[in-house]
Amino acid sequence: MKVVRLIESFFPVVSGPAMQALHISEGLERRGHNSPIYTSALGLSGEPPNLPVSVSRLPISRRAFKFLVTPDLKRRLGEEKCDIVHAHGYRSYQAEAGFAAARRSGTPFVISTHGTLESFRHFRMGLLRELPYHAYDLATGKRTVKKADVVVVNSAQEQQEAMDFGVPRGRVHRIPVGATAFKKGKKRFPERQGLKLLWAGRISRNRNVHSLIEALAAPECRKATLSIVGFEAKSSDASRGGYIDELKALAARLGLGGRVRFLGSVPPGRMMPVYDTHDAFVYPSYYENFGQTVLDAAAARMPLVCARTGVAAEIVRDGENGLLTGTEPAAIADAIGRLDAGSLSRFSDGIAGAVAEGYSWEEIIETYLRLYGGLLGRRRTA
């Protein structure tokens, strides 16, 4: 079986969709299938990174926001003989080109949405900056998702969003993302003067890190410290930059400079020692279509304090294996104040059990194989 995978940007540009695309193609290749990746040359300077799958990086002729036009893709897809076309991300040139090529050849077309349908509504950009999204939907009739053979989503929340967007229920398939690594054995919680809290991810305004920092100024958090892992990333090209500088200024203004540390970027495969030296993972994001860092923290047996969004809403049972919190500083502080030695140990064991099945990449690749297998030989639906 040959599955051509399309994505607007790829490594060295790091993103959740890129990580998923790599894992899926690599998993298929290990099982004897062929799954080349076509993408743009965004971010490429010098030699491309050495990856275990075939990656074609095509030149960008022009760009509007994150819409990267790579004209060579149409020709390359016309030359490809494949069984399935799988695009990652809506509102992209790559998805549009893949949809058109699949329609011409009668090849099944799959699209993974990665939160690109209506997540922009949660980014607090203002109506004017939302206009390009609405204009695109109006101009295209949402065809790449509404007429896809299969729309893949990662969470129950994203599944509902896809149906609200107009995708027929029978074409929406929920397949989660896999955890980077699972911790073996119980997590230890040494006695400390205060909690060592951790936040990790791509630092953007919709992740609400500012409210977490403000929560640390509350009396119930006065002994807690916070480590922030990640690099700044805008949720969209219409988002405003400079967020990480604002966070540092906020910590200094609140007198928290010594209690809030910015550790920079840490590769996912090297996060386990970071988890091991912290007591709880706090993630009060306004919106996540999934929340890879939440899943990875759970797989590392980290007690979770999270907003009810993305995968957190599915794996955290409030008060049983973690805490679900509001997004306001007072609510976050109250949740942190409820953590003690007994709850930390109970939440650690409980959240590990919640993600023990269904979130390994081996299981997920098998799910994709069943999905693809069901599409083989099927001509595109109208």
Per-residue pLDDT band at 125 (split at 50, 70, 90) = low
Q: Which is nearest to 236 in space by CA: 162, 125, 144? A: 125
pLDDT tens for residues 311-357? 999 999 999 999 999 999 999 999 999 999 999 999 999 999 999 99
Per-residue pLDDT band at 66 (split at 50, 70, 90) = confident
Query: Which amino acid, one-letter code, is at 112?
Result: S
Adjacent-strand bridge partners of 283: 306
pLDDT tens for residues 275-301? 999 999 999 999 999 999 999 999 999
Per-residue pLDDT band at 382 (split at 50, 70, 90) = very low
Domains of the chain, start order: 3-178+360-375 (3.40.50.2000), 196-354 (3.40.50.2000)
More confident residue, 238 or 109: 109
Please give the Cα distance from 157 to 137 (Å, whole number).
21
Please give the Cα distance from 354 to 44 (Å, whole number).
39
Please give the Cα distance from 244 to 174 (Å, whole number).
33
Per-residue pLDDT band at 235 (split at 50, 70, 90) = low
Per-residue pLDDT band at 250 (split at 50, 70, 90) = very high
Q: Give the distance, in angstroms, between the CA of residue 270 and the centroid of all CA atoms in the same chain.
A: 18
pLDDT tens for residues 35-62? 999 999 998 887 888 999 999 999 999 9
Query: Which amino acid, one-letter code, is at 210?
Result: H
Q: How does strand 304-307 pair with strand 323-325? A: parallel
Helices (H), the chain: 16-30, 72-79, 93-105, 127-140, 143-146, 156-164, 209-215, 243-253, 272-276, 292-299, 312-315, 329-337, 341-354, 361-375
Q: Which is nearest to 117 in space by CA: 88, 158, 67, 86? A: 158
Asked if residue 119 has pLDDT above 50, the reply is: yes
pLDDT of residue 86: 98
Mean pLDDT of 101-113: 97
**CB-based contacts of 119, cutoff 8 Å, min separation 6:** 235, 287, 289
Mean pLDDT of 201-221: 96
Structure tokens at 330: 């007072």
Quickly list DSSP for 183-241: --SPPP----SS-EEEEES-B-GGG-HHHHHHHTTSGGGTT-EEEEE--B--SSTTS--
Per-residue pLDDT band at 381 (split at 50, 70, 90) = very low
As a residue count, the chain comes to 382
